[in-house]
Amino acid sequence: MLETIITLSVVFVGLCAATIVLYGLKKKQPNKDFSGIWFRVKTWWGMFVIFCFATLFTPIVSLFSIMVLCFYSLKEYFSMMKTRKSDRRLFLWSYLMIPLQFLWIYIGWYGMFIVFIPIYVFLFLPVPRIIGKGTLGFLRSVSFTQWGMMLMVFGLSHLAFYSSASPEYGPNLVLYLIVLTQINDVIHAMVSMYFGRHKVVPTANPNISWEGFVGAFLITILASYLLYPYFTPFGLTYGILAGVLISVTGYFGSLTVSVLKRDLLIGDQGKFETLQGKYLSRIDSLTYTAPVFFHVTRYLFEFM
């Protein structure tokens, strides 16, 4: 318990420092757009509060909080789609799958957790869309919904399974993952803002640049090297490789969700700007880093 309190105290001090620095930058450079970074820092605080309740009181709080996060992320994802009346039944069934996915986590049934959405939900989802709804727009509706389930529910639900897979190390691994993912995102945004010259997909997200990728890659590895002895049971080699893994997968997660949003919201600039500060803009990287880090760690270490 003492070690957990010390860890939380260090994270709290770091969050306070990051908030003060960002506030100062906003005051000194009002012409710069720090909104994306500010949203991510607010996400840090939200995750920190959830983690405090989960580690100091009960893991059920964390499980429920992540389930709610999955629900709102999926809801926001569906809001981007130009839907027909026939899609509503499909969306309803998708929402009903979320509690089931978290039930498998609660009872520790890894086998069902890992195949439920990729296999059983994938095979089931076409059924409510087919019955009495014809064929118009069938493939687009079903594939769109499955993409949302994989990213917003399956990917993010891994955050809850860490504690189930390893009660001893799981909570700290989640904190380690979130801290590194958010550091990677913020450094990427900051470097791209000041030094970004070579945009990766300027039409989808002008804040994603190759300079940002390189800067975030190096800083995330450094942060991983400094933090792994306190948060993880890893040795030096994986302590560094974990930073590489989280930085690269976080980059692709952010890139994928950015392109996805732009594709779905073509011609609707107002909604695109409204959604910039919502859930998808804050957890896009975690949809990739959470499952990849989980499975690589599980493959390499017996404690998972």
Average predicted confidence (pLDDT) for the chain: 83
Total-model pTM: 0.85
pLDDT tens-digit profile of 17-66?
878 887 887 778 777 777 667 776 776 677 677 667 666 666 787 788 88
Report pLDDT digits (tens) over 179-192: 899 889 888 888 88
- Highest mean predicted confidence (pLDDT) among 60-74, 105-119, 187-201, 263-277: 105-119
**Selected residue with higher pLDDT from 194 and 125:** 125
From first CA to last CA, the distance across the chain in angstroms is 21
The pLDDT-based confidence of 237 (bands split at 50, 70, 90) is: very high
Q: Where are the domains of the chain?
A: 2-300
Cα-Cα-Cα-Cα torsion 134, 136, 140, 146, nearest 10 degrees, comes to -10
Could you please report the per-residue DSSP string of 127-188?
HHHHTTT-STTHHHHHHHHHHHIIIIIIIHHHHHHHHHH-TTTHHHHHHHHHHHHHHHHHHH
For residues 165-187, give the mean pLDDT.
Answer: 86
- CA distances to 17, 27, 104, 153 from 20, rounded to whole Å, are 5, 11, 40, 33
Dihedral of alpha carbons 171, 175, 176, 178, sign: positive
